[in-house]
Structure 1
Amino acid sequence: MATEEDASIEQATSLLELLASDASIARLAAAPAPDAIKDLVLRVGTAREEHRRRESAQSALLDIARELASKEDPGTVLEAIVRRARILLGTDLAYLTLYDTDAGDTFMRVTDGSVSAEFQSVRLDLGAGLGGLVASTHRPYWTANYQLDERFDHIHTIDSAVDDEGIIAICGTPLIVESEFVGVLFAANRSPRPFSRTEVGLLGNLAALAAIALVQTRALTAAQDALSALSQAHEDMRHQAEGVARAAAAHDRFASVVLEGGGVDDVTKALSELLGGWAVLFDADGRRRSVHGRAPQDGGETDPLLEMEVVERARHETGRLVDEGGIHAIGVIASREQLGTLLVSGHGALEEADQRTVERAAVVTALVLLFERQADEARQSARNRIVADLIAARGSHADRTGYLRAAGLDPRQPMCLLVARGGAPGQHRALALSVSTALGDGCIVGTHDDEIIAVVPGEAPHALAHALAQRVNRGPVLTIGGTGPTTDVDEFPSLHLEALRTVGALNALGRTGEGAAATELGFAGLIVGADPDIAHYVRQVLGPVVDYDDARGTDLIGTLQAYFVAGGSPRHAAGSLHVHANTVAQRLTRIGSLLGTTWQQPDRALEIQLALKLRQLLEAR
Structure 2
Amino acid sequence: MQAMPSDEPLTQVTRLLELLVSDVPIAQLAEAPAPEPAKDLALRIGALRVTHRRRESAQAALLDTARELASESSPSIVLEAIVRRARTLLGTDLAYLTLYDPEAGDTFMRVTDGSVSADFQSLRLSLGDGLGGLVASTHKPYWTADYSSDQRFSHTSAIDHGVGDEGIIAICGTPLIVESTFVGVLFAANRTPRPFSHTEIGLLGNLAALAAIAIVQTRALSDAERALAALSEAHDIVRQQAVGVERAAAAHDRFASVVLGGGGVSDVTQALVDLLGGWAVLFDGAGERRSVAGAAPEAAGPDPLLAHPVVDRARHDVGRLVEDDGIHAIGVIAAHEQLGTLVVGAPDALEDADQRTVERAAVVTALVLLFERQADDARQSERNRVLADLLTARGSHDDRTGYLRSASVEPRGPWCLLVARGGDPTQQRALALTVSTVLGDGALVGTHADAIVAIVRGEDPDALARSLAERVTRGPRITVGGCGPVADVDDLPGSLEEGSRTVRALVALGRAGTGAATTELGFAGLIVGADPDVHDYVRSVLGPVLEYDDERGSDLAGTLVAYFAAGSSPRHAAGSLHVHVNTVSQRLGRIAALLGEDWQHPDRALEIQLALRMRRLLEAP
**TM-score for both structures, normalised by structure 1:** 0.54
Q: Which moved more, 1:323-332 or 1:601-610?
A: 323-332
Change (3 A) 1:417 1:265: same
1:523-602 equivalence runs, <5 A: 523-544=523-544, 546-548=546-548, 550-552=550-552, 581-582=578-579, 590=587, 593-594=590-591, 596=595, 598=599, 601-602=605-606
Aligned to 1:465: 465
Aligned to 1:264: 265
Alignment of 1:611 with 2:615, yes or no, is yes
* Structure 2 residue identity aligned to 1:463: A
C-alpha displacement at 1:358, in angstroms? 3.8
Does the CA-based 8 Å contact 2:269-2:292 persist in structure 1? Answer: yes
Does the CA-based 8 Å contact 2:310-2:323 persist in structure 1? Answer: yes
Instruction: Output the CA distance in 1 between the equivalents of 2:565 and 2:363.
Output: 79
1:349-498 equivalence runs, <5 A: 350=351, 356-472=356-472, 476-498=476-498
Aligned to 2:255: 254
1:139-538 equivalence runs, <5 A: 197=198, 201=202, 205=206, 247=248, 249-274=250-275, 276-278=276-278, 280-283=280-283, 289-292=290-293, 297=297, 318-321=318-321, 330-338=330-338, 339-343=340-344, 345-346=346-347, 350=351, 356-472=356-472, 476-538=476-538
1:134 to 69, 85, 91: 91
What SS does structure 2 have at the residue aligned with 1:442?
coil
What SS does structure 2 have at the residue aligned with 1:453?
strand
Change (3 A) 1:340 1:198: farther
Aligned to 1:24: none
Q: Deviations over 1:304-325 (max 9, x none)?
A: 8789887677666554456789
C-alpha displacement at 1:367, in angstroms? 1.4
What SS does structure 1 have at the residue aligned with 2:410?
coil
C-alpha displacement at 1:427, in angstroms? 4.4
Instruction: Output the CA distance in 1 between the equivalents of 2:536 and 2:278.
Output: 64
C-alpha displacement at 1:351, in angstroms? 5.9
Instruction: Output the CA distance in 2 between the equivalents of 1:568 and 1:305.
Output: 58
What SS does structure 2 have at the residue aligned with 1:411?
coil
C-alpha displacement at 1:430, in angstroms? 4.2
Q: Deviations over 1:391-446 (max 9, x none)?
A: 22223433433343344431324211111233332444444444334433322222
Instruction: Output the CA distance in 1 between the equivalents of 2:398 and 2:287.
Output: 46
* Structure 1 residue identity aligned to 2:616: L
Does the CA-based 8 Å contact 1:417-1:492 persist in structure 2? Answer: yes
Instruction: Output the CA distance in 2 between the equivalents of 1:431 and 1:96.
Output: 24
Structure 1 regions of 5+ residues with no counterpart?
Answer: 1-85, 99-109, 111-129, 140-150, 152-172, 183-194, 228-233
C-alpha displacement at 1:608, in angstroms? 1.0
Does the CA-based 8 Å contact 1:538-1:614 persist in structure 2? Answer: no
What SS does structure 2 have at the residue aligned with 1:253?
helix
Change (3 A) 1:527 1:92: closer
What SS does structure 2 have at the residue aligned with 1:485?
strand
Instruction: Output the CA distance in 2 between the equivalents of 1:243 and 1:609.
Output: 84
Instruction: Output the CA distance in 2 between the equivalents of 1:345 and 1:559.
Output: 75
Instruction: Output the CA distance in 2 between the equivalents of 1:97 and 1:240.
Output: 37
What SS does structure 2 have at the residue aligned with 1:582?
coil
Instruction: Output the CA distance in 2 between the equivalents of 1:330 and 1:315.
Output: 8
Aligned to 1:42: none
What SS does structure 1 have at the residue aligned with 2:493?
helix
Aligned to 2:128: none
C-alpha displacement at 1:364, in angstroms? 1.1
Change (3 A) 1:277 1:506: closer
Instruction: Output the CA distance in 1 between the equivalents of 2:454 and 2:59.
Output: 40
Does the CA-based 8 Å contact 2:483-2:495 persist in structure 1? Answer: yes
Backbone CA RMSD of aligned residues: 5.6
What SS does structure 2 have at the residue aligned with 1:280?
strand
Q: Deviations over 1:76-112 (max 9, x none)?
A: xxxxxxxxxx9x96779749999xxxxxxxxxxx9xx
Does the CA-based 8 Å contact 1:436-1:445 persist in structure 2? Answer: yes
C-alpha displacement at 1:470, in angstroms? 3.4
Q: Deviations over 1:566-585 (max 9, x none)?
A: 99999999999xxx822999
Aligned to 1:39: none
Change (3 A) 1:328 1:592: closer
Instruction: Output the CA distance in 1 between the equivalents of 2:546 and 2:613.
Output: 14
Change (3 A) 1:262 1:280: same
Instruction: Output the CA distance in 1 between the equivalents of 2:484 and 2:496.
Output: 10
* Structure 2 residue identity aligned to 1:439: L
* Structure 2 residue identity aligned to 1:582: V
Instruction: Output the CA distance in 2 between the equivalents of 1:96 and 1:286.
Output: 27
Q: Which moved more, 1:414-423 or 1:370-379?
A: 370-379
What SS does structure 2 have at the residue aligned with 1:369?
helix
Does the CA-based 8 Å contact 2:281-2:296 persist in structure 1? Answer: no
Change (3 A) 1:277 1:535: closer
Change (3 A) 1:490 1:198: farther
Q: Deviations over 1:459-499 (max 9, x none)?
A: 11122223333334796343322110012111111111111
C-alpha displacement at 1:244, in angstroms? 6.9
What SS does structure 2 have at the residue aligned with 1:468?
helix
What SS does structure 2 have at the residue aligned with 1:446?
strand
Change (3 A) 1:308 1:500: closer
* Structure 2 residue identity aligned to 1:259: L
What SS does structure 2 have at the residue aligned with 1:456?
strand
Instruction: Output the CA distance in 2 between the equivalents of 1:97 and 1:482.
Output: 41
Q: Which moved more, 1:280-289 or 1:200-209?
A: 200-209
Aligned to 1:159: none
C-alpha displacement at 1:550, in angstroms? 4.3
Change (3 A) 1:490 1:204: farther
Instruction: Output the CA distance in 2 between the equivalents of 1:568 and 1:325.
Output: 67
The structure having more radius of gyration, on CA atoms, is 1
Q: Which has the higher contact order (CA 8 A, sep 6+)?
A: 1
Structure 2 regions of 5+ residues with no counterpart?
Answer: 1-48, 62-66, 68-86, 97-144, 146-171, 177-183, 189-195, 229-234
Instruction: Output the CA distance in 1 between the equivalents of 2:549 and 2:311.
Output: 75
Instruction: Output the CA distance in 2 between the equivalents of 1:469 and 1:304.
Output: 26
What SS does structure 1 have at the residue aligned with 2:333?
strand
Does the CA-based 8 Å contact 2:574-2:584 persist in structure 1? Answer: no
* Count of matched residue positions in the alignment of Structure 1 and Structure 2: 439
C-alpha displacement at 1:613, in angstroms? 0.3
Instruction: Output the CA distance in 2 between the equivalents of 1:447 and 1:409.
Output: 17
Change (3 A) 1:550 1:201: same
* Structure 2 residue identity aligned to 1:401: T
Does the CA-based 8 Å contact 2:538-2:615 persist in structure 1? Answer: yes
C-alpha displacement at 1:589, in angstroms? 6.0
What SS does structure 1 have at the residue aligned with 2:257?
helix
